[in-house]
Chains A and B, each alone.
Chain A
């Protein structure tokens, strides 16, 4: 395996007495597809927030691509190449799809500080935006206001926003949440077609979807890592079945 791009060492995120993430260590090699699964309340989204910087960890260390990012604010991590989507759609509803993409694209470019410059996108930017919108199959909707998109289209845009900056680590928080089966398979197709250089960590409740996409699965339970196995073994893992379905009762 290639060298790790993301290393968590004993990460703790505590809200007073509640340890939502309780000593998680994991290593994600560059280019890997990784799923984080676990029942509700296992601490998956909190762990994401710690990796992306929304919630600074109360203990442990997070290293990304050779940098210690444990204490960095989210925008600095984004500039290093960490990109994320949100479980609850988080877009710019009153702006057009195009302007959403422009904002996403300029987060890492100095042009965001052009105080009196023209609003037009240059041809390189236009190309990147077109590429990302094509990749998530909403290229035809560029001029529509985001609040007028369907829910499914908003989820697609959610992925496009995190893709357009050519991130090195993509964190997908339930990318298929609330989608119809056909939309789900489209999202799976989008993730599958991502460049293999991009490391992807995704949280997903839909097992068939998640296990079909990834190389390695980390199952969390009550803030800790329960098991870390390839998808085939996870399917057969008794512990995983127990935390999802409850312990079988013996008569």
Chain B
């Protein structure tokens, strides 16, 4: 047997090459504010936040084989709680942040309880419906959520008020969270999600409680989406029903698909590509959503594996 006899050197579970790549990417990302305008730094911040959201969706879609259309709502709940806790309840930013993530995790757990026994299009529709309920609550519960007007609040701590400082904080947060998600999908538990994706019935007959595994996977994924949502609330100092709307979930899913389903880090690539495109195109035409739609159709036809998946395929072809 070849396995397990000679383990290659690992640093925190990563090969030396992966460590170098990660450090270079981080260094480049950290240097960006030195050359970008404030507006562009804002865009980069947004890309990081949505990258985390797209990755959290990919945990379910790419690994457990279940695409959630409810993650925008989980993301948004976290934002609502953060803004409410600071602006209305007067909590300091960090406890508010923690509360937001906890609330999102709880909402994800409730979604999970209802959705884990389904798969395929039923999972899609059930998560969609659950997301719509959250959206409806945010829209109608006016005394608490501010209804259609949303809520404004100074959510950022004083030391994160500048664009640059906030960007660096988000970058650090995104780096830690990405590492955690990477560890999660590669862990023994992550392998069980892949097993469920490939054959639920085999997993059951091997002794796995499939719904329990999906419940844990969904809740952990919601925890990460909640972190993205709390960061987004701090980024905007504002939440409104559009933060929890279906469009938010769809955007997250599209970013994940554009990056590459199951590629995990593709979430950042997809988020960057779509946010850049949105901004570039909307400068020229009101109909930027149409251009976005066409882009997606082109991706689905010519690069269904997403940007990362296609790059990987091209690279392996070249190596042969």
Interface residues, chain A, CB within 8 Å of chain B? 52-54, 73-75, 78-79, 83-84, 86, 90-95, 98-99, 102-104, 106-108, 111-123, 125-126, 129-130, 133, 139, 142-143, 161, 165
> Do the beta carbons of A92 and B216 come within 8 Å of each other?
no
Residue B194 is within 8 A (CB to CB) of chain A in the complex = yes
Q: Do B201 and A90 have beta carbons less than 8 Å apart?
A: yes
Contact of B150 with A by CB under 8 A: no
Select which of B7, B187, B191 is within 8 A of A99 by beta carbon: B191
Given A119-B187, A130-B1, check contact A107 B7 (CB 8 Å): no
Known A-B contacts A94-B198, A117-B187; the reply to A129 vs B207 at CB < 8 A is no
Complex formed: what's the CA distance from A75 to B3 in Å? 28
Closest to B262 in A: A94
A115/B184 in contact, CB under 8 A: yes
Contact of A114 (CB < 8 Å), options: B1, B187, B205, B206: B187
A114–B4 Cα distance when bound, in Å, is 19
Within 8 A of A (CB), among B194-234: 194-195, 197-199, 201-210, 213, 216, 220
Within the assembled complex, what's the spacing in Å between the Cα atoms of A83 and B213? 20
Query: What 1/0 mask marks residues of chain B from 3 to 15 whose CB sits below 8 Å from any chain A CB?
Result: 1110100100100
Q: Is the CB of A118 within 8 A of B4?
A: no
Cα–Cα, bound, A98→B197 (Å): 17
Across-interface contacts of A52 in B (CB, < 8 A): 205
A123-B4 in contact (CB<8A)? yes
**Cα distance, A84 to B205, chains bound together (Å):** 7
Interface: B143 (CB within 8 A): no
Instruction: Point out the residue from B4, B186, B198 that lies within 8 Å of A122, measured CB to CB.
Output: B4
| Contacts from B to A (Cβ < 8 Å) | 1-5, 7, 10, 13, 180, 183-184, 186-192, 194-195, 197-199, 201-210, 213, 216, 220
A90 proximity list for chain B (CB < 8 A): 199, 201-202
Alpha-carbon distance between A221 and B191 when the two chains are bound, in angstroms: 41
Interface pair A121/B198, CB less than 8 Å apart: no
B204 near A114: Cβ-Cβ < 8 Å:
no
Contact assessment for B191 and A165 in the assembled complex, using a CB-CB cutoff below 8 Å: no
List, in ascending order, chain A residues with CB within 8 A of B2's CB: 142-143
Closest chain A CB from B214 CB (angstroms) = 13
Interface of B is mostly: helix
A75 with B204: CB separation less than 8 A = yes
List the A residue with the shortest CB-CB distance to B183.
A116
Are A98's CB and B3's CB within 8 A? yes
A139 nearest CB across to chain B (Å): 7
Q: A75 and B209 in contact (CB under 8 A), knowing A90-B199, A143-B2?
A: yes
A13 to B195, CA, bound (A): 29
Residues of A within 8 A of B1 (CB): 126, 129-130, 133, 139, 142
CB nearest to B186 among chain A residues: A119
Instruction: Report yes or no: B198 in contact with A142, Cβ–Cβ below 8 A.
Output: no
The 4 A-B pairs at the shortest CB distance, nearest first, are namely A107-B207, A78-B207, A107-B206, A126-B4
Inter-chain contact A120/B194, CB cutoff 8 Å? no
Task: Return the chain A residue nearest B195 by Cβ.
Answer: A103
How many Å from the CB of A209 to the closest CB on chain B? Answer: 23
Chain B residues in 8 Å Cβ range of A161 = 202, 206
16 intermolecular pairs with C-beta atoms under 8 Å apart:
A73-B204, A75-B204, A83-B205, A92-B198, A93-B198, A95-B195, A104-B206, A106-B188, A106-B191, A112-B189, A112-B208, A113-B216, A117-B188, A117-B189, A119-B190, A125-B4
Partner of B3, one of A107, A126, A165: A126
> CB distance B199 to A107 under 8 Å?
no
Given contacts A75-B209, A106-B191, A161-B206, 6 further A-B contacts (CB under 8 A): A91-B199, A92-B195, A94-B194, A114-B189, A115-B216, A117-B188
| A131 (CB) vs chain B CBs: closest residue | B1
Minimum CB–CB distance for B205 against chain A, Å: 5
